[in-house]
């Protein structure tokens, strides 16, 4: 179905958090203030790589209005953080490894005073030459940035199947190419920050964005050296994250300052500080050699991935796992030899980012497919079809995956789309009428993208459904609302399940004091997890409600249903009458409010705990559930300026039933435009391990002028009969396959094979090969 | 009480006359967020690129991170909190359109985006695509891909067309 407002009918659901957002009334965590709060700032390293010789804070401590100056000596617990590998210092003790490294933190009665105090902290360094590239970090004799070496290797991956040498020997055509992808910035509009409030009972209340409140709480308890229960993390609403706020950022500093001062501390990073200290997408170099038979069947695939993970681990290892898994694409390949390496450098820290390494891999693999198809003069879409995995084939890591038709469905939907068919009509009158320096082309790409954290990684899920004391149907999850529309999706799921109205609901997320541990809002998992939890909880919850209503009314429970406002009698209702029809008001049995007054509060609470579905095979990181997407793009290239403009785009997405069309469209459109930036303009450039692009005036994310003139989304909602996993998450799938579609279109338009993102304009500038008008000189 | 002229900042903010004791080099965005607790105006890039802090100053859209207090003395400032429908508790048609078309996700750019849309529709009640792009290219959004925003602006243009809410009434403090 072509997804838009018109086609969505009454499923077009206004977001419950919408009015607060369009009126500006919604308080983000960085908007919060308290009367006696003070302001925290972090002093960061002057150099990307240096030994700290001394830190003198006496001047700063003596200044008026300064409440605290903290260094590594003031960390009571573990002076490290990191979701997977806690190797990032809260405060550096002896060595700094990147320009975002923290040396000290200051709390003052105004932001200006805090800034002044920071200037008076004297740090002496012995400056060292930074390892500003993976090559420098891997060079023999390079200093080791971390003790847990060997060398500067964070992580290695490998997939070997068959014999690539034999495979290549039997190939008719072989394409070898090296692909480079940029250090993309999340560029969430709300920079990191929040409010840190110690209370009289000794608890610390943390109001700061994260995608996993419980994980923040655990890490903060390690740093502070206190029980987790002494910390409450409130973590929604969030002004954008895209993976970038999953790691701790300002939290350790805000927490330590607040506890030291016994007062609320506000932190809010400036954009420049956010750029300097924050995560980025891993820049990668991906070398690929792919060989095919005379018939166009892929025989052998050799891949070498080098990822620049920067100064600290964060999720560099899982990102590399994901990239390794996805660099085979959705194709059957008998001989495979993949090696990946994630390398520590003194560059900015790379970590989790929407697509999680899939974007880089898919850009490279789909690039290979287009090059091979052209080599054998075959239609690139047909070439893909020949090589696509069958639906019962194992996944990329030879692991068992859930069988669906998603891949062939997105392929077919794209094949018959008007946009893809346009590829064959490059000599249309419209195209021929363009000035000779304007070239147009159409390209397409296909992808399968894993959801969830993968085999071998704890991926807990769960949730709570209850009838609360106010008579509301309440759900509680540890997920976060960072813009994706989760709250609206939950509302719709609950209204569907219980036929109730939104006013009957209470949705609790993002507060560790109020929600059960149900995992993170990452890896396109929240929608699936929430749906699975509600499937498990609905039967016991409904039974409890209906049996209580039956006991009160004397009507048999099997004649009762949940509905708007409470429980209704459904006996003898004519089929055309619905529960919200006023004609059957007399059939109302009991309100949720009255039901909630009966029995103990605990009687009305239902919990579930389970794990995200994963492959049964022992393949670390291997996924079980995949979403599928095909993307086509029409691009216009100005060969005088090298500018590429995306004219028309179609995303076909197979992710199961669309619960929330507005949210689905928003995620695919937003992901697509983020991928447009990744492809054409975005690169957080570093020189000698210092950021050159430090704000949004030089780091160019797309504006409303730069986007696709036309963007259509087709949703394929089929799932296999009896599928117990429900709707799949679509937070990432919109962002993973646009880049290769654009570069394929650029190739059709100009003949240039682009292997580096963002697309270098100078490669697209071509001298005009047209006769000059009379009287015009070419010199 | 008489306040020395040099330290008294005066402006009409959302229709109310405000007097503050602040340094004249305070940024307008800080005056709004910190002194007046109008946190609907957001802070993001602080170099005038992203438009999250956009407000109307005498009817013109300005990045409030680039305006110093002394530059807007006596001005009429309209922030997102100053926008409403025919009745004060109703949404402005632009806000309503953003809500209905899904012209926001995380919502952090939304107040600035709505303010720029107001300025755009005040000037061009039926804006062309080119005028929309020009009017909103100073506002960055990282979530929506702008699709929902474009649809919201078009819808708002239609609903606002005959509305009295289109034109900002500019009142100078000096005129009062």
Nearest beta carbon to residue B143 from set A31, A240, A271: A240
Tens-place pLDDT, residues A148-205: 778 999 999 999 999 999 999 999 999 999 999 999 999 999 999 999 999 999 999 9
Containing B104, the helix (H) or strand (E) segment is none
pLDDT of residue B170: 35
Closest CA to A80 of A234, A218, A266, A268: A218
User: Does B149 reach chain A within 8 Å, measured CB to CB?
Assistant: yes
Q: Which two tokens stand for residue A229?
A: 């229960």
Closest CA to A313 of A353, A286, A279: A279
Q: Is the pLDDT of residue A571 over 90?
A: no
Q: What's the average model confidence in pLDDT over A758-778?
A: 78
Closest CA to A187 of A240, A235, A238, A237: A240
Tens-place pLDDT, residues A524-547: 899 999 999 999 999 999 999 999
Chain A closest-CA separation from residue B47 CA (Å): 8
* Residues in a beta bridge with A560: A569
**Considering only CB atoms, which chain A residues are within 8 Å of B46?**
270-271, 695
pLDDT of residue A148: 75
| CB A15 within 8 Å of CB A487 | yes
User: Which of A253-267, A730-744, B149-163 is predicted least confidently?
Assistant: B149-163
pLDDT of residue A586: 61
pLDDT of residue B108: 98
| CB B112 within 8 Å of CB B52 | yes
| CB A220 within 8 Å of CB A251 | yes
CB atoms within 10 A of CB A62: 11
Q: Which two tokens stand for residue B135?
A: 């009017």
**Contact assignment for B40 to A25 by CB distance below 8 Å:** yes
Nearest beta carbon to residue B146 from set A31, A663, A707: A707
Rounded Cα distance between A364 and A593, Å, is 57
Rounded Cα distance between A700 and A375, Å, is 35
Nearest beta carbon to residue B91 from set A22, A271, A666: A22
Q: What's the average model confidence in pLDDT over A75-93?
A: 97
**Contact assignment for A190 to B150 by CB distance below 8 Å:** no
Under DSSP, the state recorded for A511 is B
CB atoms within 10 A of CB A576: 6
Rounded Cα distance between B144 and A665, Å, is 9
Rounded Cα distance between A586 and A563, Å, is 13
Q: What's the average model confidence in pLDDT over A228-256?
A: 97
Rounded Cα distance between A557 and A545, Å, is 9
Q: Is the pLDDT of residue A334 over 50?
A: yes
Chain B closest-CA separation from residue A179 CA (Å): 26
pLDDT of residue B161: 74
Measured torsion, CA atoms of residues A126, A129, A133, A139, in degrees rounded to the nearest 10: -110
**Considering only CB atoms, which chain A residues are within 8 Å of B143?**
189, 240, 483, 666, 670
The SS3 of residue B114 is helix
Q: Is the pLDDT of residue A116 over 60?
A: yes
Tens-place pLDDT, residues A690-715: 999 999 999 999 999 999 989 999 99
Q: What's the average model confidence in pLDDT over A359-384?
A: 98
Q: Is the pLDDT of residue B55 over 60?
A: yes
Q: Is the pLDDT of residue B159 over 90?
A: no
Q: What is the DSSP string of A528-539?
A: HHHHHHHHHHHH
Mapping DSSP onto H, E and C, the string for A56-83 reads: ECHHHHCCCCEEEEECHHHCCCCCEECC
Reported confidence tier of residue A427, pLDDT bands at 50, 70, 90: confident
Residue that is written with structure tokens 């401590």 in the block: A61
CA–CA–CA angle A348, A352, A356 (5° rounding): 120
pLDDT of residue A429: 87
Closest CA to A545 of A469, A608, A473: A473
Q: Which two tokens stand for residue A754?
A: 């682009």
| CB A459 within 8 Å of CB A526 | no
Reported confidence tier of residue B160, pLDDT bands at 50, 70, 90: confident
Rounded Cα distance between A518 and A571, Å, is 38
**Contact assignment for B143 to A483 by CB distance below 8 Å:** yes
pLDDT of residue A770: 59
Question: Which residues of A, range 450-509, sit inside 8 Å of B by Cβ?
Answer: 482-485
**Contact assignment for A25 to B148 by CB distance below 8 Å:** no
pLDDT of residue B173: 34
Tens-place pLDDT, residues A491-511: 999 999 999 999 999 999 999
Residue that is written with structure tokens 């963007």 in the block: A711
Closest CA to A350 of A324, A311, A384, A376: A311
Rounded Cα distance between A431 and A637, Å, is 12
pLDDT of residue B168: 44
Q: Which residue of A has its CA nearest to B26?
A: A112
Rounded Cα distance between A639 and A468, Å, is 64
User: Does B33 reach chain A within 8 Å, measured CB to CB?
Assistant: yes
* Residues in a beta bridge with B3: none
**Contact assignment for A696 to B133 by CB distance below 8 Å:** no
Q: What's the average model confidence in pLDDT over A115-139?
A: 98
User: Does B27 reach chain A within 8 Å, measured CB to CB?
Assistant: no
pLDDT of residue B7: 65
Chain B closest-CA separation from residue A149 CA (Å): 37
Q: Which two tokens stand for residue A13?
A: 């659901």
Under DSSP, the state recorded for B7 is G
Computed over its alpha carbons, how large is the radius of gyration of chain A?
Answer: 28
pLDDT of residue B172: 33
Q: Is the pLDDT of residue B171 over 60?
A: no
Q: What's the average model confidence in pLDDT over A317-323?
A: 97
Phi-psi region of A274 (alpha: psi -120 to 50; beta: other; left: phi over 0): alpha
Burial label for A539, CB within 10 Å (0-12, 13-18, 19+), is exposed
Q: Is the pLDDT of residue A576 over 70?
A: no
Tens-place pLDDT, residues A294-316: 999 999 999 999 999 999 999 99
pLDDT of residue A771: 63
Chain B closest-CA separation from residue A703 CA (Å): 6
Tens-place pLDDT, residues B85-133: 999 999 999 999 999 999 999 999 999 999 999 999 999 999 999 999 9
CB atoms within 10 A of CB A136: 16
Phi-psi region of B56 (alpha: psi -120 to 50; beta: other; left: phi over 0): beta
Residues comprising chain A, all counted: 779
- Residue A88's contacts (CB-CB under 8 Å, 6 or more residues apart) are A80, A81, A82, A247, A311, A312, A313, A314, A349
Under DSSP, the state recorded for B68 is B
Rounded Cα distance between A451 and A448, Å, is 10
Query: Measured over all CA atoms, what is the biggest interatomic distance in chain B, rounded to whole angstroms?
Result: 53
Note the Cα A330 to chain centre separation in Å.
21
Rounded Cα distance between A269 and A601, Å, is 42
pLDDT of residue B176: 36
pLDDT of residue A779: 47
Reported confidence tier of residue A21, pLDDT bands at 50, 70, 90: very high
Reported confidence tier of residue A426, pLDDT bands at 50, 70, 90: confident
pLDDT of residue A481: 95
User: Does A539 reach chain B within 8 Å, measured CB to CB?
Assistant: no
Does the pTM exceed 0.90? Answer: yes
Containing A327, the helix (H) or strand (E) segment is none
Edge-first strand order for the sheet with A560-562 is A560-562, A566-569, A588-591
Under DSSP, the state recorded for A745 is H
User: Which of A170-184, A199-213, A398-412, A762-776 is predicted least confidently?
Assistant: A762-776
- Residue A694's contacts (CB-CB under 8 Å, 6 or more residues apart) are A271, A272, A275, A276
Q: Which two tokens stand for residue A27?
A: 């308080």
User: Does B61 reach chain A within 8 Å, measured CB to CB?
Assistant: no
Q: Is the pLDDT of residue A41 over 80?
A: yes
* Residues in a beta bridge with A566: A591
User: Does B147 reach chain A within 8 Å, measured CB to CB?
Assistant: yes
As separate numbers, helices (DSSP H) first and strands (DSSP E) second, chain B gives 5, 5
ipTM score for this prediction: 0.95
Rounded Cα distance between A192 and A277, Å, is 10
Computed over its alpha carbons, how large is the radius of gyration of chain B?
Answer: 16
Note the Cα A526 to chain centre separation in Å.
12
| CB A79 within 8 Å of CB A93 | yes
pLDDT of residue A570: 84
Q: What is the DSSP string of A148-212?
A: T-STTEEEEEEEEES-HHHHHHT-SEEEEEEEEE---B---SSPSEEEEEE-TTS-EEEEE--S-
Under DSSP, the state recorded for A707 is S
The SS3 of residue A232 is strand
- Residue B129's contacts (CB-CB under 8 Å, 6 or more residues apart) are none
CB pairs under 8 A between A and B: 170
Residue that is written with structure tokens 């903010």 in the block: B13
User: Does A411 reach chain B within 8 Å, measured CB to CB?
Assistant: no
- Residue A366's contacts (CB-CB under 8 Å, 6 or more residues apart) are A329, A445, A446, A447, A737, A740, A741, A744
Rounded Cα distance between A369 and A753, Å, is 12
């Amino acid at each position: 179905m072509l997804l838009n407002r018109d086609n969505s009918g009454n499923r077009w659901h206004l977001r419950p958090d919408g009015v607060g957002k369009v009126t500006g009334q919604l308080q983000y965590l960085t908007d919060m203030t308290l009367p006696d709060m003070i302001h925290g700032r972090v002093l960061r390293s002057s150099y990307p790589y240096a030994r700290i010789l001394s830190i003198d804070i006496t001047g700063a401590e003596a200044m008026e209005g300064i409440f605290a100056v903290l260094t590594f000596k003031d960390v009571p617990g573990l002076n490290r953080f990191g979701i997977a590998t806690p190797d990032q210092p809260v405060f550096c003790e002896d060595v700094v490894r990147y320009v975002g490294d923290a040396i000290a933190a200051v709390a003052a009665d105004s932001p200006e005073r805090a800034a002044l105090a920071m200037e008076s902290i004297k740090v002496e360094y012995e400056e060292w030459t930074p390892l500003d590239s993976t090559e420098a970090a891997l060079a023999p004799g390079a200093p080791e940035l971390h003790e847990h070496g060997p060398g500067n290797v964070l992580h290695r991956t490998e997939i070997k199947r068959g014999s690539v040498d034999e495979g290549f020997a039997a190939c008719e055509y072989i394409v070898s190419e090296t692909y480079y992808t940029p250090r993309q910035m999340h560029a969430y509009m709300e920079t990191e920050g929040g409010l840190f409030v110690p209370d009289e009972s000794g608890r610390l209340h943390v109001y700061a964005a994260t995608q996993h409140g419980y994980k923040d709480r655990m890490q903060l308890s390690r740093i502070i050296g206190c029980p987790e229960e002494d910390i409450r993390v409130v973590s929604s609403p969030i002004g954008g994250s895209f993976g970038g706020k999953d790691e701790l950022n300002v939290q350790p500093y805000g927490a330590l300052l607040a506890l030291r001062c016994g007062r609320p501390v506000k932190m809010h990073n400036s954009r420049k500080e956010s750029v300097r200290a924050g995560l980025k997408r891993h820049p990668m170099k991906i070398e690929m050699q792919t060989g095919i038979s005379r018939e166009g069947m892929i025989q052998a695939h050799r891949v070498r991935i080098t990822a620049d993970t920067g100064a600290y681990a964060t999720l560099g290892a899982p990102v590399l796992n994901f990239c390794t898994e996805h660099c085979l694409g959705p194709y059957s390949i008998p001989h495979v030899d993949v090696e990946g390496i994630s390398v520590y450098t003194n560059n900015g820290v790379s970590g989790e980012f929407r697509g999680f390494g899939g974007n880089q891999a898919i850009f490279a693999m789909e690039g290979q497919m287009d090059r091979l198809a052209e080599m054998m003069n075959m239609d690139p879409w047909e070439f893909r079809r020949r090589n696509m995995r069958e639906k019962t084939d194992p996944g990329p890591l030879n692991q068992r995956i859930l069988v669906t038709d998603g891949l062939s469905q997105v392929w077919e939907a794209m094949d018959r789309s008007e946009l893809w068919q346009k590829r064959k009509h490059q000599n249309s009158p419209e195209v021929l009428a363009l000035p000779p320096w304007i070239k147009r082309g159409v390209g397409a790409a296909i992808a399968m993208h894993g959801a969830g954290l993968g085999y071998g990684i704890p991926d807990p899920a769960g949730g709570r459904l209850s009838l609360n004391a106010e008579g509301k149907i309440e759900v509680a999850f540890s997920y976060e609302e960072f813009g994706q529309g989760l709250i609206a999706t939950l509302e719709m799921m609950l209204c569907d399940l219980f036929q109730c109205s939104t006013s009957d609901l209470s949705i609790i997320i993002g507060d560790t004091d109020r929600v059960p541990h149900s995992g993170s809002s990452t890896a396109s998992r929240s929608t699936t997890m929430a749906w699975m939890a509600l499937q498990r909880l609905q039967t016991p919850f409904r039974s409890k409600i209906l049996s209580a209503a039956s006991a009160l009314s004397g009507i048999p429970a099997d004649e009762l249903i949940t509905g708007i406002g409470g429980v209704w009698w459904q006996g003898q209702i004519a089929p055309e009458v619905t529960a919200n029809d006023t004609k059957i008001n007399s059939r109302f049995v009991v309100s949720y409010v009255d039901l909630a007054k009966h029995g103990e509060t605990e009687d009305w609470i239902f919990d579930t705990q389970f794990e995200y579905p994963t492959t049964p095979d022992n393949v670390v990181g291997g996924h079980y559930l995949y979403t599928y997407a095909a993307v086509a793009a029409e691009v216009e290239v100005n060969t005088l300026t090298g500018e590429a403009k995306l004219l028309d785009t179609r995303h076909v997405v197979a992710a199961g039933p669309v619960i929330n069309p507005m949210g689905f469209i928003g995620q695919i459109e937003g992901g697509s435009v983020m991928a447009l930036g990744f492809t054409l303009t975005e690169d957080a450039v570093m020189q000698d391990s210092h950021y050159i692009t430090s704000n949004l005036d030089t780091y160019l994310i797309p504006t409303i002028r730069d986007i696709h003139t036309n963007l259509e989304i087709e949703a394929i909602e089929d799932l296999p009969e009896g599928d117990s996993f429900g709707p799949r998450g679509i937070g990432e799938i919109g962002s993973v396959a646009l880049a290769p579609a654009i570069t394929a279109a650029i190739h059709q338009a100009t003949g240039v094979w682009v292997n580096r993102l963002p697309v270098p304009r100078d490669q697209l500038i071509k001298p005009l090969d047209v006769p000059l008008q009379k009287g015009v000189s070419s010199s | 009480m008489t306040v020395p002229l040099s330290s008294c900042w005066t402006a009409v903010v959302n229709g109310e006359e405000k007097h503050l004791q602040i340094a004249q080099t305070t940024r307008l965005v800080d005056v709004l967020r910190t002194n007046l607790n109008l946190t609907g105006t957001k802070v993001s890039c602080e170099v005038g690129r992203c438009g999250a802090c956009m407000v109307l100053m005498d009817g013109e859209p300005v990045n409030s991170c680039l305006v110093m207090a002394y530059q807007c003395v006596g001005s009429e400032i309209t922030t997102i909190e100053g926008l409403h429908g025919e009745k004060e508790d109703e949404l402005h048609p632009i806000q309503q359109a953003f809500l209905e078309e899904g012209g926001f996700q995380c919502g952090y750019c939304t107040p600035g985006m709505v303010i720029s849309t107001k300025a755009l529709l005040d000037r061009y009640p039926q804006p062309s695509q080119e005028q929309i792009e020009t009017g909103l290219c100073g506002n960055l959004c990282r979530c929506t891909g702008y699709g929902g925003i474009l649809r919201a602006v078009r819808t708002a243009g239609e609903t606002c067309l005959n509305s009295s809410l289109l034109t900002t009434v500019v009142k100078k403090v000096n005129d009062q």
